[in-house]
């Protein structure tokens, strides 16, 4: 595109972001401040993720963008088109073909490989934000690894609800050292963070923080010995492809209580259907 640098951001900005990324990879789970730029989309739409993607994108890369697991939602479509126009890179909806995957709120069902990078959009990078209002104090807590209050929150959940009632943005310990927010992915996806072969980068644009999990790093979801972490999913099969092991979205289909549970990962669902898997609702429709 004429008048713009490759992938929109100027090279100096990319350099600054790459420096922050290097530092973030060197200290897994530690939040590194960076000079977040104004981007042509509103805060909360992925300004952090889009800057990280711009900084790591090369001409040979193949980009996939998902929002809540779907390739065809507004946020995913517009960010994918943004990079197709400003960087001219190839885009795809297939997880296996992508080299860079920018995501909001999900990790693809298909296991990622060593030659892939996944970029998370993060609204609130500070996992202690709801417990401690002062950022000066939360930084001190990270520095001294004082994470007792987070366990107090889990304790309160068990006391009140009988189980740990965090269904998304479930706090994790990275490499046995830093408490980290995994971004608002469902707790269902937390086990995928652990020992993932792909490089995981996290960008928070409004909060101006970058953090990362290098490949094959231990990531543990916080829990108690007698109340271990459990990934939860809706107890149904996907209505379209019949999958019983994927994360499901609940879709209201009429005003008489009709419901459809479908894979939130659209690529996963389409791949399975192409391979001949048929779910109950899809069968009934035929």
Partner 1 sequence: MDETLLSARGLSLSFGPVTALADVDAELWPGEVLAIVGESGSGKTTLLNVLSGRVAADAGVVWYRDPAGRLQDVHAMPAPALRALHRSDWGFVHQNPRDNLRMNVSAGGNVGERLMAQGARHYGRIREEASAWLQQVEIDPSRMDDMPRTFSGGMLQRLQIARTLVTHPRLVFMDEPTGGLDVSVQARLLDLIRTLVARLGIAVVLVTHDLAVARLLAQRVMVMQRGRVVEQGLTDQVLDDPQHPYTQLLVSSVLQA
CB of 33 to partner 1, least distance (A): 21
Q: Does 226 bind partner 1 (CB under 8 A)?
A: yes
Q: Does 35 bind partner 1 (CB under 8 A)?
A: no
Backbone angles phi, psi at 127, to 5 degrees: -65, -20
Find the catalytic residue in 69, 203, 238, 239. 238
Q: Which token pair is 69?
A: 């697991």
Find the catalytic residue in 48, 205, 239, 269. 269
* 279 carries an active-site annotation: no
**What's CA 71's distance to the chain center, in Å?**
14
What character string, x for contact with partner 1 (CB under 8 A) and - otherwise, covers 103-142?
Answer: ----------------------------------------
* 205 carries an active-site annotation: no
Pick out residues in 146-175 that bind partner 1 (CB under 8 A): 146, 148-149, 151-152, 155-156, 158-160
Beta strands in 90-145 (DSSP E): 90-91, 100-104, 117-121
* 238 carries an active-site annotation: yes
Beta strands in 105-177 (DSSP E): 117-121, 172-174
- What sign for the dihedral angle of Cα 170, 175, 180, 181? negative
Backbone angles phi, psi at 130, to 5 degrees: -80, -15
CB of 24 to partner 1, least distance (A): 23
- Residue among 59 and 163 whose Cβ is closer to partner 1: 163
* 3 carries an active-site annotation: no
- The three-state secondary structure class of 32 is strand
Asked if residue 228 lies in contact with residue 159, where contact means CB atoms within 8 angstroms, the answer is no
| Interaction site with partner 1 (CB under 8 A) | 144, 146, 148-149, 151-152, 155-156, 158-160, 223-227
Annotated catalytic residues are: 29, 238, 241, 263, 269
């Amino acid at each position: 595109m004429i008048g713009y640098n490759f992938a929109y951001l100027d090279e100096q900005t990319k350099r600054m972001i790459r420096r922050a990324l290097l530092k973030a990879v060197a200290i897994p789970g530690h939040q590194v401040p960076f000079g977040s730029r104004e981007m042509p989309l509103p805060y909360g739409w992925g300004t952090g993720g889009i800057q990280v993607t711009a900084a790591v994108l090369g001409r040979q890369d193949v980009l996939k963008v998902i929002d809540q697991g779907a390739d065809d939602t507004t946020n995913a479509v517009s960010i994918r088109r943004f990079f197709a126009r400003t960087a001219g890179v190839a885009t795809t909806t297939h997880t296996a073909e992508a080299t860079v995957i920018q995501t909001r709120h999900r990790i693809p069902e298909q296991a990622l490989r060593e030659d892939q990078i996944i970029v998370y959009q993060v609204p609130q990078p500070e996992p202690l934000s709801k417990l401690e209002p002062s950022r000066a104090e939360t930084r001190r807590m990270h520095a001294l690894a004082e994470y007792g209050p987070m366990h107090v929150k889990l304790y309160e959940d068990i006391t009140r609800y009988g189980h740990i009632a965090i269904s998304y943005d479930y706090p994790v310990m990275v490499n046995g050292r830093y408490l980290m927010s995994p971004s608002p992915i469902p707790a269902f996806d937390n086990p995928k963070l652990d020992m993932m072969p792909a490089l995981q980068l996290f960008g928070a644009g409004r909060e101006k923080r970058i953090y990362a999990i290098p490949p094959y790093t231990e990531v543990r979801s916080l829990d108690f010995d007698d109340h271990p972490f459990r990934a939860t999913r809706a107890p149904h099969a996907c209505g379209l492809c019949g999958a019983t092991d994927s994360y499901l979205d609940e879709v209201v289909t009429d005003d008489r209580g009709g419901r459809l549970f479908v894979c939130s990962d659209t690529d996963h669902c389409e791949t399975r259907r192409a391979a001949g898997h048929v779910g109950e609702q899809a069968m009934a429709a035929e």
